[in-house]
A = this chain, B = another copy of it.
Amino acid sequence: MKNHMLDKNAQKIVTALEQDARMSFAALGDEIGMSKTPCWNKVQQLQASGVIEGYSAQLNPKALGLTIRALVHVVVDFEHYQAFEQAINAHKAVRSCHAVTGDSDYVLEILASDIEAFDELLRAQLSRLPGVQRFNTAISTRMVKNNGPYAAMLT
């Protein structure tokens, strides 16, 4: 959260590791034209400075049986927003939650195994979270693009 100017090598490293987090340091070194030792040092530094937060396996939600995805816009009573956010963080079906400007206060990304489970989730659980006043649900019918790399956005 400090250095807003990564040097060229650091950019190549994060680009490569965002695409394949298990690449060996030797292979990483080949891509950026260094041996593996300074390469390893740079990665340690990127981790310590918070640029690299971790490494994650990319799972296929459909292969896990999670076939329904929805974007749910929520209006929340301002008095209870803290309890609402806490409940959102605890809820496993919520993949992401943004506080947003505009007509709604939050936008949730929610997954469910099928449409019945999603209906139950919406009616029995999310609507009863603290402070929730109104919903507006948009079912995602197709993922046109997913996980576009951050590293590619640097200029």
The chain A residues found within 8 Å of chain B, CB to CB, are 1-6, 14, 17-22, 49-66, 69, 71, 85, 88-89, 92-102, 104, 106-107, 111, 136-148, 150-154
Q: Is A6 touching B52 in the complex (CB atoms < 8 A)?
A: no
Q: Chain B's nearest CB lies how many Å from the CB of A23?
A: 9
List the number of copies, as a whole number: 2
Contact (A63, B88) CB under 8 Å given A21-B55, A56-B56, A94-B145: no
Contact check: which of B71, B96, B152 meets A107 at CB < 8 Å? B71
Q: Is B92 touching A152 in the complex (CB atoms < 8 A)?
A: yes
Q: Is B96 touching A148 in the complex (CB atoms < 8 A)?
A: yes
**4 other contacts beyond A101-B141, A107-B138, with CB at 8 A cut-off?**
A3-B63, A55-B58, A66-B153, A94-B145
Q: Is the interface of A mostly helix, strand, loop or mixed?
A: mixed
A-B contact pairs, 24 of them (CB 8 A): A6-B64, A14-B57, A14-B59, A20-B55, A21-B22, A51-B63, A52-B59, A52-B60, A54-B58, A56-B58, A59-B151, A66-B150, A69-B98, A88-B145, A89-B144, A98-B141, A98-B144, A99-B140, A99-B141, A99-B142, A100-B141, A102-B138, A104-B138, A107-B140
